[in-house]
């Protein structure tokens, strides 16, 4: 007996010495703790309501979405403890009863019949041993037990259980209960049922063997056994267990959430995720500004609109909340197709590509003039070709309207009045205003752009247009669009609210909607919009806004090729109006700023009347800003009222009367004589629009003496043109002819010669 007691005492002392030695030699510092609590999971994007909509693989090429224990629902934690570690809440990292049972069973059966791992030691294995590449042996097991005991001093039981369930393997490259719930059941962990919880926890014994999509019967048998175990432990009631046994198992895995691809790319670029030295956080649960409801509607509307276009034409659009500066929806390409990797063009985010803005920048030119006090909605402008040295900008419909008000000129997007306003407002000041509104790609001075600055002779992105028009809709408060739900973005005033209100008032009309049904607008719903069409019919734009939301729509080809249907009023405006009608159906209109006052003006000149003015009408002006010079068109001479028209209007009237008796000459208005055309290297068709004016009947086109084809008088005729210098000629049915010399250049390509073949499409 003494010998036995001494032997037991010696064994206890030896165990104590060995344990002390192991405790001192097995390290567990802050680095190991960080390895356990910092999970380098998948970047997961949530919308502004907290709903997961986009998931990418983690840096380890795994699906892993860490969540809090409180977000795992009721059943997963209960079943995990009941199956994996029944005494989890009572032991201190090692379960000695389980160790004794495992030793006894393994000796009896002469094989590994039972394990003694605890949830804590399994967490150490998943977070430390596996990542360090340690082999599975007794030494590693003892090391894990010691580290588990130390971990129990650092983390609470709920924290240990949370980290374990976030790291647990569920077959293939799936880790964590949230990713497993999404892929196997297409719902979050908080929503899974009792039977689904038992299936997932049952997979932990052997994730490959018990995968329901690979081994349905084995997975079902394992799940049913766990359900009965939970009933025997009184974790499930009899009814809960019976219902769980009747549940169907999933026979295939689902695709993880992959919504709003191009918006997700904006987020990843902003945060530097996936960049070589990016800001990759251990917790990549990112709560964004996206409104998933608005995103779904935007995608559906654009997809429907794209079906009416040729296959190479797509749309892009964005929606901004004017009050918060948040980007709530973004579609970079309506034809995006994740399942068709061969459709490379569909992956292009057209909203970030540099494009010609057409006429969409005109509101900002008028805004600068209003700010300076030199213009109101009633100011008389000349829509004529005179005073431009014979190279007047033509309107889209190739006609001139003569005397028009600024309200009509902007609302109908007339080119000649816009150029006159640009010159009066000072191009340098207009360019500075455009930069203040967020247009970042104006890298040259105003002289470089000339009059084309507001006619589309520059480059912008849809993203910039959305920021700029959202600032206009916010009555002059500019914000860089925010992509994160909880991000606070400072605003800066870039224009007065009075001037912005007057521009919004001018563009609050339905004139641009004349080519499609206006009935969808309703009687009370109001919207401001501005359309744009780039030169050569390559880009169709519409910016539309209410006081609450701004939407910008672009239509075109990712490679920049032209199509005759790319007109802002028909290709983009109906889509923009439909989007805002659905997103902002109850939006009101702006309250008039106090400094915007009504004054009487001459009905013709739009200036304050003098004694010679025949009639007056009311018009808005800005108190203390708008100039008060009286009307110069009406004057008294020898007691009689006399009208003195501006020279550009008087000359236009005389020219018009002469043309009644003289046939108009045949001219080539496109391409412009002496111009150089720079084509994009990826433009395979290399087409340039040809158009004539003053022709009689059908016209016939030639290039360098070779016949190209015919078109109707005044209609666009598109044809490919190789690099080099060319003579473009045209003749009409009366035998009259005209020609122009042009030069075509493609940066980065060898010079073409006249023998190069261009395919007409």
Predicted local confidence at residue 278, as pLDDT: 45
388 pLDDT higher than 60: no
Convert the pLDDT of each residue in 703-742 to its tens digit. Answer: 876 778 888 877 888 888 888 888 888 877 666 677 888 8
**In angstroms, what CA-CA distances link 650 with 22, 405, 419?**
103, 16, 19
Convert the pLDDT of each residue in 238-253 to its tens digit. Answer: 999 999 999 999 999 9
Which of 176, 85, 75, 55 has the alpha carbon at shortest distance from 126?
Answer: 176
Convert the pLDDT of each residue in 412-467 to its tens digit. Answer: 889 889 999 999 999 999 999 999 999 999 989 999 998 888 888 899 999 999 99
Q: What is the pTM of this model?
A: 0.78
Predicted local confidence at residue 524, as pLDDT: 65
Decide yes or no: CATH 1.10.3810.10 for domain 21-246.
yes
The secondary structure element, H or E, covering residue 550 is: strand 549-556
Contact 306, 563 (CB under 8 A): no
Domain boundaries in the chain? 21-246, 596-658, 667-745
Convert the pLDDT of each residue in 642-673 to its tens digit. Answer: 788 777 676 555 444 333 233 557 788 888 87
Predicted local confidence at residue 314, as pLDDT: 94
Q: How confident is the model at residue 30 (pLDDT cuts 50, 70, 90)?
A: confident
What value does the mean pLDDT take over residues 479-486?
94
Contact 674, 739 (CB under 8 A): no
Separation between Cα atoms, residue 191 and residue 364, nearest integer Å: 51
Predicted local confidence at residue 10, as pLDDT: 81
Most confident by average pLDDT, 18-22, 346-350, 476-480, 524-528: 476-480
Predicted local confidence at residue 18, as pLDDT: 66
Considering the chain, what percentage of its residues have pLDDT values greater than 70?
A: 85
Separation between Cα atoms, residue 671 and residue 677, nearest integer Å: 9
164 pLDDT higher than 90: yes
Predicted local confidence at residue 397, as pLDDT: 64
Please tell me the least confidently modeled range out of 20-29, 490-499, 583-592, 699-708: 20-29
Q: How confident is the model at residue 283 (pLDDT cuts 50, 70, 90)?
A: low
Strand 63-64 and strand 174-175: the pairing is parallel
Q: Would you mind telling me the total number of residues written for the chain in this entry?
A: 761
**Other C-beta atoms lying within 10 Å of the C-beta of residue 260:** 26
**Does the fold of domain 667-745 match that of domain 21-246?**
no
Q: How confident is the model at residue 328 (pLDDT cuts 50, 70, 90)?
A: very high
Convert the pLDDT of each residue in 115-134 to its tens digit. Answer: 668 999 899 899 888 877 77
Residue 428 CB-density burial (10 A; 0-12 exposed, 13-18 middle, 19+ buried): exposed
Q: Is 249 helix (H, G, I), strand (E, B) or coil?
A: coil
Q: How confident is the model at residue 760 (pLDDT cuts 50, 70, 90)?
A: very low
Contact 54, 44 (CB under 8 A): yes
Locus of tokens 């239509």? 555
Instruction: Report the chain's mean pLDDT, rounded to a whole number.
Output: 84
Tokens of 520: 């969808």
Convert the pLDDT of each residue in 666-699 to its tens digit. Answer: 788 888 877 788 777 666 677 888 888 877 777 8
- What's domain 667-745's architecture? Sandwich (2.60)
What value does the mean pLDDT take over residues 70-93?
91
Separation between Cα atoms, residue 205 and residue 209, nearest integer Å: 9
76 pLDDT higher than 60: yes
Convert the pLDDT of each residue in 86-117 to its tens digit. Answer: 889 988 888 777 777 766 666 666 555 456 68
């Amino acid at each position: 007996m003494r010998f036995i007691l001494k032997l037991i005492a010696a064994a206890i002392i030896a165990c104590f010495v060995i344990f002390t030695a192991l405790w001192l030699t097995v390290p567990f510092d802050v680095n190991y703790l960080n390895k356990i609590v910092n999970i380098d999971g998948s970047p997961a994007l949530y919308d502004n309501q907290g709903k997961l909509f986009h998931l990418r693989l983690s840096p380890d090429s795994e699906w892993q979405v860490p969540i809090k224990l409180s977000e795992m629902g009721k059943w997963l934690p209960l079943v995990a403890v009941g199956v994996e570690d029944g005494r989890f809440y009572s032991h201190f990292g090692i379960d000695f009863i389980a160790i004794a049972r495992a030793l006894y069973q393994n000796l009896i059966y002469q094989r590994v019949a039972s394990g003694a791992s605890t949830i804590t030691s399994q967490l150490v294995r998943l977070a430390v041993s596996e990542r360090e590449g340690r082999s599975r042996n007794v030494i590693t097991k003892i090391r894990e037990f010691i580290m588990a005991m130390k971990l129990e001093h650092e983390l609470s039981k709920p924290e240990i259980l949370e980290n374990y369930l976030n790291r647990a393997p569920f077959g293939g490259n799936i880790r964590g209960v949230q990713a497993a719930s999404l892929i196997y059941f297409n719902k979050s962990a908080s929503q899974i049922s009792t039977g689904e919880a038992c299936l997932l926890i049952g997979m932990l014994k052997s994730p490959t063997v018990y995968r329901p999509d690979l081994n349905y019967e084995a997975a079902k048998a394992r799940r049913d056994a766990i359900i009965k175990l939970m009933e025997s432990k009184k974790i499930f009631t009899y009814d809960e267990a019976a219902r769980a046994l009747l549940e169907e198992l999933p026979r295939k895995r689902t695709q993880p959430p992959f919504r709003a691809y191009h918006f997700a790319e904006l987020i990843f670029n902003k945060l530097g995720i996936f960049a070589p030295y990016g800001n990759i956080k251990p917790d990549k649960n990112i709560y964004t500004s996206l409104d998933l409801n608005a995103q779904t509607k935007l995608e559906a509307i654009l997809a429907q609109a794209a079906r009416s276009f040729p296959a190479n034409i797509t749309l892009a659009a964005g929606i901004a909340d004017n009050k918060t500066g948040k980007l709530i929806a973004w579609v970079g390409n309506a034809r995006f197709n994740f399942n068709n990797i061969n459709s490379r063009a569909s992956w292009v985010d057209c909203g970030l590509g540099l494009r010609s803005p057409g006429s969409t920048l005109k509101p900002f030119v008028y805004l600068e003039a209003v700010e300076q006090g030199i213009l109101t909605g009633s100011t008389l402008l000349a829509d004529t070709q005179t005073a431009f040295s014979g190279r007047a900008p033509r309107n889209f419909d190739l006609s001139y309207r003569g005397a028009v008000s600024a309200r009509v000129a902007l609302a109908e997007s007339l080119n000649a009045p816009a150029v006159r306003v640009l010159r009066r407002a000072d191009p340098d000041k207009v360019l500075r205003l455009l930069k203040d509104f967020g247009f970042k790609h104006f890298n040259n001075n105003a002289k470089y752009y000339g009059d084309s600055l507001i006619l589309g002779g520059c480059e912008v992105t849809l993203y910039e247009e959305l920021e700029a028009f959202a600032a206009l809709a916010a009555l002059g408060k500019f914000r860089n669009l925010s992509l994160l739900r909880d991000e606070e973005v400072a605003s800066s005033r870039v224009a007065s609210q009075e001037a912005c209100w007057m521009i919004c008032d001018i563009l609050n009309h339905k004139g641009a909607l004349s080519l499609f049904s206006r009935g969808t607008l309703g009687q009370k719903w109001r919207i401001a919009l501005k359309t744009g069409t780039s030169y050569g019919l390559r880009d169709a734009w519409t910016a539309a806004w209410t006081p609450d939301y701004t939407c910008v729509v672009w239509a075109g080809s990712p490679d920049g090729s032209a199509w005759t249907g790319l007109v802002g009023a028909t290709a983009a405006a109906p889509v923009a109006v439909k989007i805002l009608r659905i997103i902002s159906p109850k939006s009101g209109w702006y309250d008039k700023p106090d400094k915007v006052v009504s004054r009487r003006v001459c009905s013709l000149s739009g200036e304050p009347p003098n004694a010679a003015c025949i009639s007056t009408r009311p018009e808005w002006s800005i108190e203390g800003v708008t100039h008060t010079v009286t009307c110069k068109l009406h004057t008294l001479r020898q007691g009689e009222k006399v009208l003195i028209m501006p020279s550009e209007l008087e000359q236009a009237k005389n020219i018009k009367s002469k043309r009644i008796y003289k046939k108009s000459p045949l001219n080539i208005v496109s391409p412009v004589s002496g111009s150089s055309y720079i084509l994009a290297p990826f433009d395979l068709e290399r087409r340039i629009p040809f158009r004539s004016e003053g022709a009689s009947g059908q016209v016939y086109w030639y290039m360098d003496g070779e016949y190209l084809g015919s078109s109707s008088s005044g209609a666009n005729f598109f044809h490919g043109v190789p690099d080099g210098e060319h003579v473009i000629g045209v003749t009409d049915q009366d035998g009259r002819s005209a020609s122009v010399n042009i030069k075509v250049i493609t940066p980065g390509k060898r010079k073409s010669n006249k023998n190069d073949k261009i395919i007409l499409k």
